[in-house]
Amino acid sequence: MSDAQAGQIDTVMHEERLFPPPPEFAAAAHIGSLDAYQRLWDEAAADTEAFWEKLAREELHWFQPFDQVLDWNPPFAKWFVGGKTNVSYNCLDVHLDTPRQNKAAILWEGEPGDQRTLTYQELHREVCKFANVLKGLGVGQGDVVSIYMGMTPELAIACLACARIGAVHSVIFGGFSSEAIADRNNDASAKLQITADAGWRRGAELPLKETVDAALAKSPTVEKCVVLRRTGAEVNMVEGRDFWWDDLMDEASADCPAAELDSEAPLFILYTSGSTGKPKGIKHTTAGYNLYTKMTSRWVFDLKDEDIYWCTADVGWITGHSYILYGPLSNGATVVMYEGAPNWPDEGRFWEIVEKYRVTIFYTAPTAIRAFIKWGDEFVRRSDLSSLRLLGTVGEGINPEAWMWYHKTIGGERCPIVDTWWQTETGGIMMTPLPGAIPTKPGSCTKPLPGIVPAVVDETGQPVDEGHGGMLIITRPWPGMLRGIWGDDERYVQQYWSTVPGNYLCGDNARCDRDGYYWIMGRIDDVLNVSGHRLSTIEIESALVSHEHVAEAAAVGKPHELKGEAIAVFVTLRDVEPSDALRDELKQHVRKEIGALAQPDDVRFTGALPKTRSGKIMRRLLRDIASGKEEVGDTTTLEDYSVLASLREDEE
Ligand code: PRX
């Protein structure tokens, strides 16, 4: 645990404004009043298994019904035991004999301005064909398929095709380096790679295949690679290993019944950062995840058939998995998917897309909102945003100023804002103001969803008093919960379930106010949140010390206007003197080892790192120095006072 000890956290936010759901919104909402929410929450809390059982039987298609709701052998959960279902079936086939068959499932907008619409029928056909392609390449149930591509419809098709045959997808965000891809491929023993020649980003081509080539040189388990033609970039195709997507699809049959999969069949692995240098492969399975994302999409986004729903996340993150693909498609929603950057060809692109497709629900990250504010309102005012009825945020807390801007400038003061708190591990949204029911307080994710029972506790596991900070835990299992860390049960038990035995430790600090509203107060571990991306300081440090001239390194976060947090690193050198060239080289080195998203903003050289007597790096001190604060805290345990002095000098 970092030096921000639970239970000793100062509350700095005093937000008293309350925004009730607009009456017209509430009148038409799936959950339309605080009473309705409370009834549902109480019902779920009184008999959690009965609550989920009823929904599972009603909302999912079963090839074979389950005979046990939950097998809870803490911390290992099995939901809907004995049942057989298929996530791709629940996202596609269920809509085929309904009026939704020719409804748009995906409205896709490419960065250069090209567009494609895939109806439910068309998406179903493409998914069936690609599922047959996968089978033809020798991919079967339980095999891991690694996916590294841009935001094209084929990314959705690839995921759903894996789900259809019981293969396990591992999507790797396009900002990661070849080293990071190889690490993940090896950890998961991936059998097949899917990528594209390149992707569009701010008018430039991102060389995806080239990066994959370097990764595959170090991924011995990967046998074959499917390459989508997206930009037409020249790429190197390895005979016998690499195949073009369209060549394979031309030959593929469109007949591929969904495999009848066990409720607990693994659906995907998604790597995320924890408090060690090695990313964790978070494992999600079939039925529970499907039900949880379906229900939370409907409750939180108040999804209706006539909505045009746009989540701006990348499918490389959990938000894209749960709230671009599986949740909305299970509900038969129309989803907007955009390939590129928000500021291409200029800073008004998002708002043009909202106007063009008449988007009704818009879900984005606070870091993006801060960028919109900085870019200026004129880009927003150019477009007609009157179609919007609901806004959401995800990935980090939102500061009240950004919340107010979102509310006024984007939402025209008529759209509720759902600040959704959750994690890769939770599979779906855990706490948020249901838009027709719960009055919002800017900066608070408000209350838990039905079936979710959180608590705020101290290090002994005892609940802290109202209004006091402590560790956030979830006190009972839920269907969307992670089922483990891929290949590492011990780490799963140790990391999430042993601090407060039998309870899920989120890794966030929080407080609960007198109205029962939760306020997330940041991580308890050394995890940074840079532009809504989760990064471990230790991962960055490991990358740095792998450089020949680095002896020791410490990475900390410092406040950043747009990114929320920026990365500052302190480095001690071996054999060489500090230089600007080396500073740049180290930034590039981290970029190469992990990816552009982890590139440090600041690199500071120091003679030694400040440590406590027990040898722990004094991160709080480094954070204070990195952020330029005058106050550097109690330094009496500093091993070497001269270090602090020289670091401070450096600041002058
Ligand atoms: O610290 C919390 C922060 O993001 C972490 C989860 O990151 P990740 O697994 O990458 O998932 C992000 C998308 C769900 C959390 O532990 N976080 C996420 N949403 C919020 C948040 N912090 C405050 N408020 C939120 N709404």
Give tens-digit pLDDT for 589-643.
Answer: 999 999 999 999 999 998 888 877 677 788 888 888 888 874 444 444 444 545 6
**Span from the CA of 607 to the centroid of ligand 1 (angstroms):** 35
Q: pLDDT for 590-601, tens place per residue? A: 999 999 999 999
One of 3.20.20.370, 3.30.300.30, 3.40.640.10, 3.30.70.920 is the CATH number of 547-651, namely: 3.30.300.30
pLDDT interval class at 15 (50, 70, 90): low
pTM: 0.93
User: Tokens at residue 571, please?
Assistant: 């480095």
**Which atom belonging to ligand 1 lies closest to the Cα atom of 523?**
1
Pocket test residue of 297, 396, 511, 565 for ligand 1, highest count of atoms within 8 A of CB: 396
Burial class (CB in 10 A: 0-12, 13-18, 19+), 386: exposed
For the chain, give the mean pLDDT: 93
256: nearest Cα among 88, 13, 5, 24: 88
Pocket lined around ligand 1, Cβ cut-off 6 Å: 272, 318-319, 394-397, 419-424, 445, 506-508, 520, 523, 529, 534
pLDDT number for residue 570: 92
Q: pLDDT for 194-209, tens place per residue? A: 999 999 999 999 999 9
518: nearest Cα among 510, 528, 506: 510
Where are the CATH 3.30.300.30 domain residues in the chain? 547-651
**Span from the CA of 202 to the centroid of ligand 1 (angstroms):** 26
In angstroms and rounded to an integer, the radius of gyration of the C-alpha atoms of the chain is: 24
Q: How far apart are CA 192 and CA 169, in angstroms?
A: 10
**Which atom belonging to ligand 1 lies closest to the Cα atom of 533?**
10
Does the pLDDT value for residue 652 go beyond 50?
no
Q: How many CA atoms lie within 13 A of 505 on its CB side?
A: 26
**Span from the CA of 195 to the centroid of ligand 1 (angstroms):** 27
Question: What is the DSSP track for 369-401?
Answer: HHHHHHH-THHHHTS--TT--EEEEESS---HH
Q: How far apart are CA 360 and CA 521, in angstroms?
A: 31
Identify the three-state secondary structure at position 616.
coil
**Span from the CA of 458 to the centroid of ligand 1 (angstroms):** 21
Residue whose tokens read 């529970």? 288
Nearest CA to ligand 1 atom 11: 423
Least confident of 249-253, 304-308, 423-427, 562-566: 562-566
Strands 518-523 and 504-512, bridge-based pairing: antiparallel
Do 499 and 538 meet the contact criterion of CB atoms below 8 Å apart?
A: no
**Which atom belonging to ligand 1 lies closest to the Cα atom of 506?**
16
Residue whose tokens read 């302190």? 570
Q: pLDDT for 239-268, tens place per residue? A: 999 999 999 999 999 999 999 999 999 999
**Span from the CA of 466 to the centroid of ligand 1 (angstroms):** 22
Q: pLDDT for 329-359, tens place per residue? A: 999 999 999 999 999 999 999 999 999 999 9
Where are the CATH 3.40.50.980 domain residues in the chain? 119-259
Pocket test residue of 426, 520, 528 for ligand 1, highest count of atoms within 8 A of CB: 520
Q: At what angle do helices 48-59 and 287-301 cross, to 10 degrees?
A: 90
**Span from the CA of 592 to the centroid of ligand 1 (angstroms):** 25
**Span from the CA of 296 to the centroid of ligand 1 (angstroms):** 16
pLDDT number for residue 530: 93
Nearest CA to ligand 1 atom 8: 423
321: nearest Cα among 221, 429, 228: 429
Residue 457's H or E segment, with its range, is strand 454-457
Does the pLDDT value for residue 364 go beyond 70?
yes
Q: How far apart are CA 106 and CA 100, in angstroms?
A: 12
**Which atom belonging to ligand 1 lies closest to the Cα atom of 317?**
10
**Span from the CA of 477 to the centroid of ligand 1 (angstroms):** 19
Nearest CA to ligand 1 atom 2: 396
Do 471 and 458 meet the contact criterion of CB atoms below 8 Å apart?
A: yes
**Span from the CA of 534 to the centroid of ligand 1 (angstroms):** 8
Pocket test residue of 315, 326, 508 for ligand 1, highest count of atoms within 8 A of CB: 508
Average pLDDT over residues 484-494: 97
- Return left, alpha or beta for 193; rule: phi > 0 is left, psi -120 to 50 is alpha, else beta: beta
User: Tokens at residue 36, please?
Assistant: 């309705």
Does the pLDDT value for residue 651 go beyond 80?
no
Fold of 119-259: Rossmann fold (3.40.50)
Nearest CA to ligand 1 atom 15: 423
Do 127 and 164 meet the contact criterion of CB atoms below 8 Å apart?
A: yes
Nearest CA to ligand 1 atom 10: 534
C-alpha separations of 404 from 347, 399, 408, 559, 605 in Å: 20, 9, 6, 20, 40
393: nearest Cα among 352, 445, 470: 445
C-alpha separations of 460 from 111, 391, 500 in Å: 51, 38, 7
Backbone angles phi, psi at 576, to 5 degrees: -130, 165
Nearest CA to ligand 1 atom 23: 397
Identify the three-state secondary structure at position 598.
helix
